[in-house]
């Protein structure tokens, strides 16, 4: 194994055994989609956090990534991905919008399950670093944009799925308008301490909303940084 392979595979606290314990914890908590579990197993989460935090990368917890942002808890990443893709194939999810690229971990987990991900990040430095990281890892079905996630990506709409990695106080109307018929929007909504993860499905006659669980996300902010 060369140095680059060692960097990606991880050693010690980032070993395959450590990853397998994380996957088993997700199974115990109700994650059943086998492709998602395999992605959690394979995506090198330690490369998405600072070196000082790499020994904690395969804990089921959120971690800081700078700029006041976090890498989401693996369970929440798996849950949101499962809520978006369950019962659907790549042909059903040809175009997916991700609001809040962050460090790119959610993007990497989702990438093999959909056709193309259109991902928006409001913080320019995060967007640039994540583009380089995912390219190095061979994840190429991504289109990047530095912009205001509240506005979505009108020029590429409609989307078969929309996944939002930060919490607005209410669901942005622009995102609902950009959801295709049959599409799903997965989004945390509400103030800190009172957020709910919801799934909105656009049917032929309107929108259907369901609450999945209580969550805690950084707020979704307007504008760019």
pLDDT tens track for 41-78: 999 999 999 989 999 999 999 999 998 899 999 999 99
- E strand or H helix at 78, and its extent? helix 74-85
Complete domains list, the chain, with CATH: 66-215 (3.40.50.150)
Length of the chain: 225
DSSP 167: B
Decide if 114 contacts 90 (C-beta within 8 A): yes
Strand ranges of the sheet holding 206-215, from the earlier edge strand across to the other edge = 142-146, 116-121, 95-99, 159-164, 179-189, 195-203, 206-215
Instruction: Read off the pTM.
Output: 0.92
Q: Between β-strands 142-146 and 206-215, what pairing exists: parallel, antiparallel or unpaired?
A: unpaired
Rounded distance, CA 171 to CA 182, Å?
18
Residues known to be catalytic: 72
Q: pLDDT tens digits, residue range 93-123?
A: 999 999 999 999 999 999 999 999 999 999 9
């Amino acid at each position: 194994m060369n140095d680059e392979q060692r960097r990606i595979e991880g050693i010690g606290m980032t070993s395959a055994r450590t990853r397998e314990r994380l996957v088993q914890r997700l199974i115990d908590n109700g994650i059943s989609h086998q492709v998602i579990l395999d992605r959690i197993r394979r995506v090198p989460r330690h490369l998405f956090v600072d070196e000082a935090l790499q020994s904690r990368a395969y804990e089921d917890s959120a971690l800081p990534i700078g700029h006041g942002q976090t890498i989401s808890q693996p369970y929440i990443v798996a849950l949101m991905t499962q809520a978006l893709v369950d019962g659907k194939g790549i042909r059903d999810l040809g175009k997916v919008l991700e609001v809040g690229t962050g460090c790119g971990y959610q993007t990497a987990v989702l990438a093999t399950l959909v056709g193309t991900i259109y991902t928006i990040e409001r913080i320019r430095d995060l967007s640039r670093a994540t583009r380089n990281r995912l390219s190095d890892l061979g994840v190429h079905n991504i289109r990047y944009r530095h912009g205001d996630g509240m506005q979505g990506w009108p020029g590429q709409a409609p989307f078969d799925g929309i996944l939002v990695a930060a919490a607005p106080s209410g669901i942005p109307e622009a995102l609902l308008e950009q959801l295709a018929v049959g599409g799903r929007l997965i989004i945390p909504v509400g103030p800190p301490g009172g957020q709910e993860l919801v799934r909105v499905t656009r049917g032929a006659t309107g929108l259907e909303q369901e609450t999945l669980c209580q969550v805690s996300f950084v707020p979704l902010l307007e504008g760019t940084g």
